[in-house]
Amino acid sequence: MKGKLKYLALAFLSLVLLVSCNSNDKKQTKKAAVQVEKKEPIVKEFGLIFNDFIVHKDTIKSGDTFGTMMQNYILPDSINVHQLTEKVRDSFNLRGIKIGKPYLLFFDKKQKDHLKAFVYVKDQINYTLIDLRDTIAVYNKQKPTSIRKRTIAAEIEGSLSATLDREGVSASLAPRLAGVYAYSIDFFKIQKGDRFAVTLYEKFIEDTIYAGIERVESTYFRHRGNDYFAFPYKLKSEQKEYSYYDELGKGLKSMFLKAPLDYYRISSAFSGKRFHPVQKRWKAHNGTDYAAPHGTPIKATATGVVEKAGYTSGNGNYVKIRHNGTYSTQYLHMSKILVKRGQHVAQGQIIGKVGSTGLATGPHVCYRFWKNGIQVDPRRQKLPNTEPMGNADKEKYLEYIKPYKRELDSILAVKFKNNDSNIN
């Protein structure tokens, strides 16, 4: 710590020397002055002007406490470390100091080791400033943030996250979009030619540092020639969360999730005949295999009651859920079952974890789907959506989304000159 300080002081000193040497040469005086101004832009952060101090940056190391960090420096009014600790402890959670977090020490420019301020950086936004300049004062502050609107329209090339990356959008938009369209688009089957448009709000710290997506306003996705608009809307103001509806007021949510996993790869589709990898013979595969890492959470694709939860040599650990008089689903080869027979489960609830118990070559879920007692391919079913809006609600909704829809349409028109989607 002290070594670095010395280095900083030395660097500063040599800069001063350089300036004063140059100023001896009258012809160069003006030039040098300009150069120095350029080299020392005003740096302001945490409400402090860095140029007024010698600033030392470091991170909390194992064993560091506020006391040990302070003990090497000269504190104002000759108070000692113990007195300082007592003064700040009410406002500054000393036990909350975490290894790896950055902190900054601000020293007097002229009096070496005279500490003037200490800043502990909790996260991108929150920090604690201990100001020692006049009276000792502790401030728990937040850096000013701003929200900016952004619109994006792009065509899929490669994966969704690769496309977002190319557009310079946070990768966190991918799971958000996957969430919005969890019922309508299989994101692992998106392909070249698919396109999307999004209006969203991004957060910035002090107008410059990107701090992620604040919220997504409206989205459009074209997948395999179908258009999917999605607008978040609360049908009743007391509703806690938004639901997503399309441009006609139809809910995007359907009775079943597209898949029991968030991230997966279909390793074996539903088919009348396939070569069984363990039994080494041709037989029907009445399920869809989703390969995913061991331990990946498995979700109930719809609300229902657990009908079976147990083990057989073929299925391994498995769960069967009865959703209503028509539909049941089953999830095989789990490493862990997290529900019990007779238990009610909500759509999306985690019922187990991916494994390779039973007849399985690697970790995957075999997802089976029954309609009226017959195993069918859920990916070929037209599955029921949530209840439609009433006429009065729909009228209100359509009026509400007008500006959002218009904006998406114009982004698409600009990006894809003649967007041939069936946008009215």
Residues that bind Zn ion (CB under 5 A): 287, 289, 366
- Output the CA angle 52-55-57, nearest 5 degrees: 155
From the CB of 327, what's the least distance to Zn ion, in Å? 18
Compute the distance between CA of residue 32 and CA of residue 23 in angstroms, rounded to an integer: 7
**Cβ-based nearer residue to Zn ion, 19 or 359:** 359
Q: Confirm if 327 and 357 have CB atoms less than 8 A apart.
A: no
Query: Tokens representing 65?
Result: 């406490």
**Cβ-based nearer residue to Zn ion, 255 or 266:** 266
From the CB of 349, what's the least distance to Zn ion, in Å? 22
Compute the distance between CA of residue 63 and CA of residue 85 in angstroms, rounded to an integer: 17
Compute the distance between CA of residue 218 and CA of residue 61 in angstroms, rounded to an integer: 44
Which ranges of 171-287 would DSSP assign to H, the alpha helix? Answer: 173-180
**Cβ-based nearer residue to Zn ion, 247 or 289:** 289
Listed in sequence order, the residues at least 6 apart from 332 whose beta carbon sits closer than 8 Å to its beta carbon are 287, 315, 316, 318, 358, 360, 365, 366, 367, 368
**Cβ-based nearer residue to Zn ion, 194 or 289:** 289
Burial class (CB in 10 A: 0-12, 13-18, 19+), 194: buried
**Cβ-based nearer residue to Zn ion, 285 or 405:** 285
From the CB of 151, what's the least distance to Zn ion, in Å? 42
**Cβ-based nearer residue to Zn ion, 287 or 363:** 287
- Residue number with the shortest CB distance to Zn ion? 366
Kindly provide the residue ranges of all beta strands, DSSP E only, lying in 122-208, ordered along the sequence. 126-131, 137-142, 145-155, 195-205
Q: Confirm if 281 and 255 have CB atoms less than 8 A apart.
A: no
**Cβ-based nearer residue to Zn ion, 164 or 366:** 366
- Please give the full DSSP string across 59-110, using - where no structure is assigned: EPPTT--HHHHHTTSBPGGG--HHHHHHHHTTTS-GGG--TT-EEEEEEESS
Radius of gyration of the chain (CA): 31
Kindly provide the residue ranges of all beta strands, DSSP E only, lying in 257-326, ordered along the sequence. 265-268, 271-275, 282-285, 288-291, 297-299, 304-312, 316-322
**Cβ-based nearer residue to Zn ion, 172 or 279:** 279
- Please give the full DSSP string across 221-244, using - where no structure is assigned: EEETTEEEEEEEE-SSTT-SS-EE
From the CB of 278, what's the least distance to Zn ion, in Å? 10
End-to-end distance of the chain based on CA atoms, in angstroms? Answer: 66
**Cβ-based nearer residue to Zn ion, 85 or 286:** 286
From the CB of 216, what's the least distance to Zn ion, in Å? 35
From the CB of 269, what's the least distance to Zn ion, in Å? 9
**Cβ-based nearer residue to Zn ion, 232 or 355:** 355
Query: Tokens representing 60?
Result: 């909390």
Distance of CA 399 to the CA centre of its chain: 31
**Cβ-based nearer residue to Zn ion, 289 or 409:** 289
Distance of CA 407 to the CA centre of its chain: 25
